[in-house]
Structure 1
Amino acid sequence: MADTRVIALLTNPTSGRGKGARHGAVALERLRSRGHDVRAAQGRDADEGLDLAHSLVAEGVDALVVVGGDGMANLGIQAVVGTDTPLGIIPAGTGNDVARYVDLPADPLAAADRVLTGRTTTMDLALCQGRYYVTVMAAGFDAVVNERANSMTWPKGQLRYHLATLAELRTFRPLDYTIDLDGTVLRLPAMLVAIGNGPSFGGGLRIAEGARLDDDLLDVIVIKPISRRDLVRTYPRLFTGTHMSHPQYERHRARRVTVAAPGIVGYADGERFGPLPLTIESVPGALSLLS
């Protein structure tokens, strides 16, 4: 980033089981070694982190760079949308799907060097409840797993989500959904509904395979009722996108989606957005991401 003089570096030190602190220190040294004024900050929690992000952007920094996973990327997005400030990411989380969208390297030195190039990718965002997200809104079995995992104190990382998945599989049943797609209403039972701005979430689960970040549309994925055994067999296919050939898979595309089902809380970018019903809209070209 040859013409940037002031860079805000906002770190979540606990992300990736401490990886955030280590990667943040490496990135800070790299950025300062190139002669830039780097304002390093970290919040004690998400609310303070968001306040800091807004304050740093309001000060007129040339870039806001976050160190962490998809949750930190989501936090940074809220601060830069509607401004001329681009967002940079030093990946240090468990999932890192946002960083994966633009092939950011996992190595913090290499990721910092990508920030320094100043190249940006413009991408769409999804807007829900006044908050933006870039990956996928989970609104079915995957959201139930998220709720359980977030209530667990052990273990850490991806293993917690695998254990939560096994626990929920014992009792989960298809839910009755109402989905409004640009005014066309569907009523159907389903195991899972996901609203993708991008193709993947949860550390590479390509639930919305084929979703593009520049088409002004949301990809709405429906997995209709299947047995628990079939769900377990299908799960590995989510990492490759080959689940699209499953006979109970449906894909719809729309600019505005409202999804309703009993007892489900929506999650996106690893963050809790709230109970259904939720309305999601595509916001074309809303994010400038350093890549």
Structure 2
Amino acid sequence: MSGDLVVLVNPTARGGRARRVVGPVVQRLREGGHDVRVIVGASAEDALARARTAVAQGSDALVALGGDGLVHLAVQAVAGTGVPLGIIPAGTGNDIASALGIPRDPLAAAAVVAAAAGGDGTAVRSVDAAQVGGPGGEDRRWFAGVVACGFDSRVNERANGIAWPPGMAKYLVALVQELRTFSPIPFRITLGSGDGAEETEVIEREAMLVAVANTRSYGAGMRVCPDARPDDGLFDVLVLGAVPKGEFLRTFPKVYRGGHVGHPAVTIRRAAHVTLEAVGPGADVVAYADGERVGPVPVTCAVVPGALRVLVPA
């Protein structure tokens, strides 16, 4: 690679942390012998359009400086193109970077990107990405981490409507509010091999949440599927069945260390193709991918093996 790096920045990530480290990060990349351009879009749509233009023009790598939301946006531009993705964590949640072994410190991550982008390709890792959208193929988008439906996505919906307090505090407010009214959701989950064969399993049950995981964690460290791997061509699909709210409050915090997987209400399956539906009362549920709103179910998720090339530590 000749060294032309395009850095995509979310200036509001983690209360402006990304903005504060742009200068040092760009300097570190340039010290590695790279030409560097910075993209800051006027909106998410503008940023994505600029990123896609840069990829189409033959940049050596697109580098996302921000959290999982910005990585999600960058994946839309690079997945399936062969152009590598660099990740420099600077957000509230950096779960995708963590799953790929990328350092948490932005300057250390920039050093990884600089070395990997200037090397012989040995530090470019091929990993899976996935697509999510309507069962008929409509409104499909890429994701790299986790699709979530249920209690957690309901909390996200509430939090998106809260102007204050900012940051993670609003998610705590939304969580408390949602707990007051939440009831288990009747899901139908269809699992398949994705190779054109017949479906392998259909799960119909009331559940607190369902997660379709390409990587192990989401939500700033919740290890919802601790054994999920981003390079095996399969999702780990977790279903947390209906439990009383008190039991849910005791079980849910264990997700930060993966201790929830032994709970009798937890089921984990592996599949390459997953359709999520909610039926009957309480069926108004929205899916989120990498923390970004997808839309109401039903949705279908499909793994695309090796669709991403990521700059990682050698």
TMscore range, shorter length: over 0.9
The amino acid of 1:288's aligned partner reads R
Displacement of 1:153 in angstroms is 0.9
Contact 2:34/2:114 (<8 A) preserved: no
Matched, 1:175 2:182: no
Gaps of 5+ in 1: none
- In structure 2, the residue matched to 1:39 is 37
Deviation at 1:5, TM superposition (A): 2.1
Deviation of the 1:103 alpha carbon: 2.4
Instruction: List aligned pairs for 1:147-158, cutoff 5 A.
Output: 147-158=157-168
Match of 1:79 among 77, 80, 86: 77
Residues 23 and 67 in structure 1, CA contact (< 8 A), matched pair in contact too: no
Match 2:213 to one of 196, 202, 216? 196
Aligned-pair CA distance for 1:247 = 0.8
Counterpart for residue 49 of structure 1:
47
TM-score relative to the length of structure 2: 0.90
- Aligned counterpart in structure 1 of residue 113 of structure 2, from 88, 112, 115: 115
Q: Displacement of 1:55 after TM fit?
A: 0.6
Match of 2:274 among 236, 257, 261: 257
Alpha-carbon distance in 1 for matches of 2:30, 2:226: 38
For 2:309 and 2:142, the matched residues in 1 are separated by 13
Once the two structures are TM-superposed, the CA of residue 121 in structure 1 deviates from its matched residue by 2.0
Shift of 1:94: 0.5
RMSD over aligned Cα atoms: 1.1
**Match for residue 287 of structure 2 among 247, 266, 269:** 266
Query: Following TM superposition, by how much is the alpha carbon of 1:263 offset from its aligned partner in structure 2, in angstroms?
Result: 0.5
Identity of aligned residues (%): 45
Quote the offset at 1:106 in angstroms.
2.4
SS at match of 2:187: strand
Alpha carbons 1:26, 1:108 under 8 Å: kept: no
CA shift for structure 1 position 4: 3.4
Aligned residues: 289
2:68–2:96 CA contact under 8 A, matched in 1: yes
Q: TM-score, normalised by structure 1?
A: 0.96
Structure 1 position 212, deviation (Å): 1.2
Moved over 3 A (4+): none
Secondary structure in structure 1 of the residue aligned to 2:170: helix
- Structure 2 gap segments, 5+ residues each: 117-122, 134-139, 193-198
CA contact (8 A) 1:24 1:90 kept: no
